[in-house]
Amino acid sequence: MTYDRLVCANCAAPVNEGRCRVCRAVRQQMEEQEREQGPFAGLSPAMLIALMVLLVAALALLA
């Protein structure tokens, strides 16, 4: 889940605006989680399979 769709229970504003300390804390926590997950965390399983198929096809063409 991304924090651009979350609404803060403390101030009833979108979390990505960071209006209160609770919003800012949640936003910081979610940004840290995104950095820890790596570059392929946001890809869907179908996209990962498509990338693997393309990689195998490219390797087959080179062989």
Q: What percent of the chain has pLDDT over 90?
A: 22
Residues 6+ positions from 42 with CB-CB distance below 8 Å: none
pTM of the model: 0.51
- Residue 24, Cα to own-chain centre: how many angstroms? 18
| DSSP symbols for 20-48 | SHHHHHHHHHHHHHHHHH-TTTTS-HHHH
The confidence band for 58, taking pLDDT boundaries of 50, 70 and 90, is: very high
3-28 pLDDT tens trace: 667 888 888 888 888 889 988 888 88
Token pair 């936003």: residue: 27
The residues spanned by each domain of the chain are 3-62
Q: Which amino acid is at 15?
A: V
